[in-house]
Structure 1
Amino acid sequence: MASAVSTRFMIISDTHGFEFGDAEKAGGQFKHPLPDCDVLLHCGDLTHFGTPDQVEHCLQMLGSINAELKLVIAGNHERRLDIEWVSKHNKRSDDPNSLDFLEHKAVVDMLTGPLAKEAGVTYLAEGLNTFTLRNGAEFTIYSSPYTPAFCDWAFAYRRTEDRFNPADKVAQGFKCIAENPIPDFQPALHGNVGCESLVRAVSRVRPRLHCFGHIHEAYGAKLVRWDGDSLDKGSIGPSAIAHLSDRTNFYPEVSCAPIEFGKNTLMVNAAIMNSGYQPTNAPWLVDLDLPKAAPE
């Protein structure tokens, strides 16, 4: 069996145009110098509206963070990144050269092109990705920008729609709309705000880490101990939770938790902004023992 490699994750979300210097004014802790980490996870809501200037500003902010790998997803505030939202609100939906479509292309190019590369940012759409780090650790991550519909923001689905489970795992009364359902036995999970279907998916997959944001008031972390083990998952949904405990953020030190794949999941709401959109909340630092990549 491959040996485990300790890997440090820094988890943030809901930066909404944050720039370094803001935290000092608000009494927050997200400020330079930042502690070392291997992987930076940004769980969405990078900006206020996802316009090109806001996305560029966010990339400049992320570029000042020292991490080997910086993984970023959109949130419901990134309207210009959601082609469905852009198409729905564009008065000239048949004109690819209209301002809305040109801005969509511009922000996608920013997050997937030279500007993102210069900042060291990897932009993730919905689905699975596997990464190998310089320390030899390998991990697979599922990401999704989608959240339940709220006030006509982006990347939305209806409350009665299930975007995260395959058709045979959808709860009664829900419609499966999953294009990239979360597969079983994935060792890490990076997503966004929860809903009944997402809780159902997380209980089915039982990842080591489930990260999200969006609800600023719910900032914090909980450690879940699942009923049964990874080889015998009898129940799905809230009933699969055997025990739930709050975790304390010790930033800039690591917030330790006994995370064993299939038995525990650390759920982290990493919203930097509070309910008044002030950056008072600290990032989360979490160490995971990850499998070592097989030699090529």
Structure 2
Amino acid sequence: MASTVSTRFMIISDTHGFQFGDAEKAGGHFKHPLPKCDVLLHCGDLTHVGRPSELEDCLRMLTSIHAELKLVIAGNHERPLDINWVIKHNEKKNDPNSPPFLERKRALDILTGPLAKEAGVTYLTEGLNTFTLKNGAKFTVYSSPYTPAFCDWAFPYGRLEDRFNPADKVDYGFKCITEKPIPDFPGVDIVMTHGPPRYVLDRGWNGNVGCASLFRAISRARPRLHCFGHIHEAYGAKLIQWSEDKESTGSSAMAHVSEGTNSYPQESRYPIIFGKETLMVNAAIMDSTYRPVNAPWLVDVDLPKATSD
């Protein structure tokens, strides 16, 4: 009996207020009819500035996507969802009845309330979650909305701060600020972050802007899939082959990199060898000028079957 089951993922990010009909105007690919999938992954930047009305519009858009499970994280544009951003920009600081706190409560209620339930959306914050699908697949997801600080957006951390590795595995010169580290292999199947790792699908107008500490953590975890967005210009996919030495981390752990191809609306098949390969996907729907021209990624991944005990 097979110990894995093929599971279809639709991966998107950086929709920034996208509604169906926008892609046709821009000559894009994200339009009806949409192929069915088992799991939808949205890697953040649902909106322009995170207003509750924008979040409601996003959920209505996601409602029309056919998926058993829809997992959504925030991005740097979802400002009201970041408690530290709210406190920083609130004249009354911790007053729960001040407008910024009330907006935050409304935003959270939208992403966890009846409208999200109707859309089939599960909102994830930073940390680990495990899911079991009707096809028998069971998988663990690590999610995080945090990205290196840029201007005055939400969920920031410093370039020399490590948010993803435990203290004993932080690189020299970095300060550990980890609250919920990414686990070592084989502790996670899928990693969803808003931002990319350093030097993998992270090249923007000002160079490579991904996170070195995130790449270090991914090289430890060696998940089947790591998906993100944030850097619109770097849309694409890479298949990473890891070194045989499981103790190596960072760039020394990467043995080979090959380009991934998007066959949307047909699926792309990746028979990933767990522990030896990771498919990395930048799924930003918007390009650098905020036109929805990029296609979602429809990817088949073999996942472990849930055991009966």
Above 0.5 in TM-score?
A: yes
Contact 2:36/2:65, CA 8 A, preserved across alignment: no
Letter in 2 for 1:31: K
1:18 aligned partner:
18
Q: Deviations over 1:156-183 (max 9, x none)?
A: 0000000000000000000000000001
Q: Deviations over 1:229-286 (max 9, x none)?
A: xxx4131001111000111111011122331110000000000000000000000011
- Structural RMSD (CA): 1.0
| Match status 1:106 vs 2:119 | no
2:202 aligned partner:
none
Q: Determine the C-alpha separation between the residues in 1 that align with 2:172 and 2:94.
A: 38
- Structure 2 gap ranges (5+): 198-210
Q: Determine the C-alpha separation between the residues in 2 that align with 1:66 and 1:171.
A: 42
| Match status 1:269 vs 2:282 | yes
Q: Deviations over 1:50-100 (max 9, x none)?
A: 011001110110111111000000000000110110000011114211111
Pick from 194, 200, 223 the counterpart of residue 239 of structure 2: 223
TM-score w.r.t. the length of structure 2 is 0.93
Contact 2:189/2:224, CA 8 A, preserved across alignment: yes
1:198 aligned partner:
214
| Match status 1:282 vs 2:284 | no
2:142 aligned partner:
142
Pick from 217, 234, 246 the counterpart of residue 247 of structure 2: 234
Letter in 2 for 1:178: T
| Match status 1:246 vs 2:259 | yes
Q: Determine the C-alpha separation between the residues in 2 that align with 1:282 and 1:265.
A: 21
2:191 aligned partner:
189
Following TM superposition, where does structure 1 have runs of at least 4 consecutive aligned residues deviating by more than 3 angstroms? none
Q: Which stretch shows the higher mean deviation, 187-196 or 153-162?
A: 187-196
Give 1:152 deviation, angstroms. Answer: 0.8
Q: Determine the C-alpha separation between the residues in 1 that align with 2:225 and 2:143.
A: 12
Give 1:189 deviation, angstroms. Answer: 1.5
Matched ranges for 1:53-132 at <5 A:
53-132=53-132
2:203 aligned partner:
none
Contact 2:141/2:192, CA 8 A, preserved across alignment: yes
Matched ranges for 1:39-58 at <5 A:
39-58=39-58
Q: Determine the C-alpha separation between the residues in 2 that align with 1:197 and 1:2.
A: 36
TM-score w.r.t. the length of structure 1 is 0.97
SS of match in other structure, 1:130: strand
SS of match in other structure, 1:276: coil
Contact 2:270/2:301, CA 8 A, preserved across alignment: no
Contact 1:80/1:104, CA 8 A, preserved across alignment: yes
SS of match in other structure, 1:59: helix
Aligned length: 293
SS of match in other structure, 1:11: strand
SS of match in other structure, 2:269: coil
Identity of aligned residues (%): 73
- Structure 1 gap ranges (5+): none
2:28 aligned partner:
28
SS of match in other structure, 1:225: strand
Q: Determine the C-alpha separation between the residues in 1 that align with 2:307 and 2:152.
A: 45
SS of match in other structure, 2:69: strand
Matched ranges for 1:146-161 at <5 A:
146-161=146-161
Contact 1:2/1:291, CA 8 A, preserved across alignment: no
Contact 1:258/1:264, CA 8 A, preserved across alignment: no
Q: Deviations over 1:28-58 (max 9, x none)?
A: 1100110110000000000000011001110
